[in-house]
Chains A and B, each alone.
Chain A
Amino acid sequence: MLTNYLTLAWKVLQRRKVFTAISLFGTSFTLVVLTVAVALFDHTLSPMPPEVNFGRTLVMSRARMQGDGNTWQSAPGYKLVNDYARQLPGVELMTVQTAGSLATSFVDGRKIESTLKHTDAEFWRVYQFAFLEGSAYGGADVDSARLVMVINETSRKRFFGGAPAIGRYIDADGQRFRVIGVVRDVPSLRTPSADLYAPLSTQKSKGWQEEYLGDFTPAFLLAQNARPEDVRAELHSRMSTWKSPEKSNWKTLSANLETPFEGMGRNLYPGETDFTRTYGGFLTMLLAGAALMFMALPAINLVNLNVSRIMERASEIGVRKAFGASSRTLVVQFLVENLALTIIGGVMGFLLAGFVLRSINQSGLIPYAALTLNPRIFVWGIALAVVFGLLSGVYPAWRMSRVHPVIALKGTR
């Protein structure tokens, strides 16, 4: 039966080449855009080195102080993390890292701008970096504020022309660091991405240990069987004991642990967010809504084309009805035909998306982006094609099943 439908669909596709081309163009373009969007998300939010344990890593990306009608929201400071988020039950490992700041160096009259991230020693255990040379700094280096540095592959090329870098020196913002390790580049959309990594204690600012709000991005690696809700609950109960420092009007301090996806939802949420809950569901709805909105126009376009193509096939439908085909059979038949068409469009879109992604990689719009198509994205692409196929096929199929056999056989309406 299915083979029959598909053969028929193929015949119909060949009948009016212009219409087929228009349908395929619309479908594949729509799916290119959606596939590229999915690929960008996948690139930001999938487990990939060095974030091999991405699924059980939570970050604290925002914290907030409130009091007397004033709100101060920013990344958490070291004191908040140190006083309230150390040794949380269910957390296997935690690391404190800065968001990364711009550091300027001059090499032989050339200016080099790099992102410099300050981290603790656990950073290298939470994230599994691939070392091309040397190794990471340890707890002793961090405690004694030794001026050592791990750099990425691109920085090695920029500073030393790709030659071995271990033992050589880099001047960044007036500090002289000795290079002890070289790691692979990490795409800039990922949390642990930077050009240069240095021990936390080598920061120029002095009072970072005393701040509740600052520019740190602590990350927490949960134990295998730990539940995020329990860890959050413990953090909230600890933070509720916070007392504002002397001579300040701040009343409350709040923060939460979230997956990067939930953190993105919080950032996109209009209005003030609640730190006792997460915003993953909100983001899912937002994305589904945006995807449906984007599909609406192409879908209606396709519905229009499909409806007018059905009228061409009125006699065929009439014959089938006269021989006893039920409305349901016809609906199924048409849906299968339409799905076949959109899946062909989807596969074309998937291939085209490959080109788009490659040009995004080459454009340097996202530093160190390595956007690629993988099976996960393919599954997403096919799923989107099916949604699109149903969206654009249901109404024409229903119309088709309702045509009266007598009128249909006569070929008029």
Chain B
Amino acid sequence: MALHLLKLIWNRKRANFLIITEILLSFLVLAAVTTVAVHYWRNYQAPLGFSYERVWDVLVRVPRGIESTPEVDRERFARMQRLIDAARQMPEVESIGHLQLGTFRNWQWNSDLTLEDGRRVEYNGNRADDELARTLSITVVDGRWFSREDVGQNWDAIVINRRMAREVFGEARAAGQMMPAEQRPPRPGDAEANRPQRVVGVIEDFRQFGEYSTPANYLIVRNDIVTAAAEPVAAASAEAAHAQASGTAPQPGHARAELPGVLSIRVRPGVTAEFEERLVNTLQAQAPDWSFSMKPTEDIRTEYLRNNYLTPLAILGMLAGFLLLMVALGLSGVLWQNVTQRIRELGLRRAKGADRARIKQQIFLEIALMTGIAMTVGAILLAQVPMLGWLGPVPPVLYAFSLALSAVLLFLLTSFCGWYPSLLATRIPPAEALRYE
């Protein structure tokens, strides 16, 4: 049956070629949309790793430009710490932490490290303080978050997410281990050599770019602005004392600190917007030449997701929807036309004893076969995408699943388009069809 139908399709190859091309293009559009949709849906399922409920985000902009001397830097760190202390004094504030790169913003620190066994691990990085885990309710699954214990060590304390722990350490326990990374030469602008890093804890995740972003490796470095703000003499002697006590060779320098870009503040329930003005004024009074802008993280998130994910997705979805609707209408029209052109052929079949169901089956099978041909070609084309490395962040398994899903959807679409024409075909009275001119 199928072979015979293939022959029929071949006989009308000119007309069918166009229909197949159209189905093929629709398949490509459908596959792209399904892949994007499935990818975002999967991302949305993964845990965010932190909570933004009752959290305010204070963006701190420190004027650049002044010749960066150690004294200027120390003064800035000290002032930042004074700001944090002042905010913590306010009764509305439950806890306050800081982050170098705020959440739900397109601020990225992309980096990679080469492990001792030669593997390269890419990650997104950030710097945070001891309080951040409490402020943002970050789930620690193994080990601990940063604390005062990490001061004065000859390594930098880091926390990594579960995914990165698995990639670097495999099944072995990550918390408490040194990062088996090769040392690399300092970049231009770096004052001193990189220090070894020690994983003090593993967190569930910290998806800085929100629910729709692709889960990726994440590494947070302890940002110790308190020590950085202290007198260098005191810090150095403390370090030397520690080195003597532990019997290791003294390591030059101490943990490098960076000015945090964002303060995260969790307020008590029932705090109103009036608090915002008071807090900004308090901060502004402490640092008149710095700038502050404050917003609930919830609002930043809404805006961020809208601008980066939802609006582009809605536009894409709308375009694809209209394209497919157009194709559906066009295809039904063409198939309908096909049936009317083949009235004599179908009439002959009816006269020779084929019942309505069989005619219907023929039309449907023909459409299904054409869809199949289009999909085979489409699949060959789409298989090139992963090979060319155009998949980006989409995992190959998910891509394959999306293709299967879009194939099913396409079958449904073309069958739907073929439904009315096939109905039409069954209504042909055999006697009339044979006399048709």
Contacts and interface: CB of A to CB of B under 8 A. Distances in A.
A305 B341 CA distance: 14
B390 to A, nearest CB: 12
Given A173-B291, A204-B63, A300 B18 contact: yes
| Residue with the highest number of chain A CB atoms closer than 10 Å, among B61, B281, B326 | B326
Contacts of B288: 174
B333 interface: yes
Interface string B307-332: 00001000000010011001101110
A246 to B, nearest CB: 12
A205 B326 contact: no
Grouping DSSP codes into helix (H, G, I), strand (E, B) and loop, the B interface class, with mixed when no group exceeds half, is: helix
B354 interface: no
A248 interface: yes
B65 A210 contact: yes
Interface in B16-31: 18-19, 21-22, 25-26, 29
Given A206-B63, A207-B65, A298-B323, A18 B333 contact: yes
A310 B424 CA distance: 21
A297 B26 contact: yes
A250 B188 contact: yes
A25 B293 contact: no
Contacts of A19: 333
A67 interface: yes
Nearest to A26: B326
Q: Interface residue tally of chain A, by bracket?
A: 35 or more
B290 interface: yes
Contact of B284 (A174, A210, A305): A174
| Residue with the highest number of chain B CB atoms closer than 10 Å, among A70, A206, A297, A302 | A297
A307 B337 CA distance: 10
| Residue with the highest number of chain A CB atoms closer than 10 Å, among B18, B63, B276, B294 | B18
B231 interface: no
B435 interface: no
A25 B326 contact: yes
A301 B22 contact: yes
A106 B278 CA distance: 10
Nearest to A248: B188
A16 to B, nearest CB: 9
Q: Interface residue tally of chain B, by bracket?
A: 35 or more
Contact of B18 (A106, A173, A304): A304
A296 interface: yes
A301 B341 contact: no
A375 B187 CA distance: 54
A109 B276 CA distance: 9
B21 A205 contact: no
Grouping DSSP codes into helix (H, G, I), strand (E, B) and loop, the A interface class, with mixed when no group exceeds half, is: helix
A140 interface: no
Given A18-B333, A248-B188, A29 B322 contact: yes
B21 A300 contact: yes
B333 A297 contact: no
Contact of A304 (B19, B277, B280, B281): B19
B15 A102 contact: no
B330 A302 contact: yes
A121 B306 CA distance: 37
Contacts of B437: 411
| Residue with the highest number of chain B CB atoms closer than 10 Å, among A19, A70, A211, A365 | A19
B40 interface: no
A206 B65 contact: yes
Given A248-B188, A297-B26, A111 B63 contact: no
Interface string A206-222: 11111100000000000
A26 B333 CA distance: 13
B437 to A, nearest CB: 7
A68 interface: yes
A93 to B, nearest CB: 27
Interface of A: 18-19, 22, 25-26, 29, 33, 67-68, 70, 101-104, 106, 109, 111, 113, 173-174, 203-211, 248-250, 294, 296-298, 300-305, 307-309, 311-312, 365, 399, 411
25 contacts: A22-B330, A26-B326, A26-B329, A29-B322, A29-B326, A101-B291, A106-B277, A109-B273, A174-B291, A204-B291, A205-B63, A205-B66, A207-B65, A207-B66, A210-B65, A211-B64, A211-B65, A248-B188, A300-B18, A300-B21, A300-B22, A307-B15, A308-B333, A308-B334, A399-B14
Given A106-B277, A111-B276, 7 more contacts: A25-B326, A204-B289, A204-B290, A248-B189, A296-B25, A301-B22, A304-B18
5 nearest A-B pairs in the assembled complex, by CB-CB distance: A207-B65, A205-B63, A249-B188, A308-B337, A301-B330
